[in-house]
Amino acid sequence: MHELAVTQSVVDAVSERVGTRRVVSVRVEVGTLSGIVADAMRFCFEIASGQTVLEGARLDIDERPGEAHCRDCESDFTLPDLVLLCPCGSADVEVTSGRDLVIKSVEVA
């Protein structure tokens, strides 16, 4: 489960930035094409944040759909899952977003 390693990286990054201030919540944006399962990340957050300034903090996850550009028909479209196929039927697509994970905000006490 790579969510644990990813979540531990989020906890480490936030901890490094806030120092000793208690964290109330963390908001992250996760692309649907990142391979990260939001429920698994929430579970891992409880484990990774234990005995840190994030212990007891709320993790808010905004899931963002993937976006792609078709090289055949030149259209931009949403990718609801990892099937890289344009509505026109072409598989010649370029993923333009949806593979990222971004820490959007941190609320401290």
pLDDT higher than threshold 80 for residue 108? yes
In angstroms, rounded to a whole number, what is the distance separating the alpha carbons of residues 66 and 17?
Answer: 29
Has residue 78 been placed in a domain? no
Read out DSSP for 39-100? Answer: HHHHHHHHHHHTTSTTTT-EEEEEEE-EEEEETTT--EEEESSS----TTS---EEEEESS-
Has residue 11 been placed in a domain? yes
Has residue 18 been placed in a domain? yes
pLDDT in tens, 27-46: 999 999 998 999 999 999 99
> In CATH, what number is assigned to the domain containing residue 11?
3.30.2320.50
Region 71-90: mean pLDDT is 93
Q: How many domains does the chain have?
A: 1
Has residue 103 been placed in a domain? yes
Has residue 58 been placed in a domain? yes
Q: Using pLDDT thresholds of 50, 70 and 90, give the confidence band for residue 20.
A: very high
Containing structural domain, residue 30:
2-65+97-108
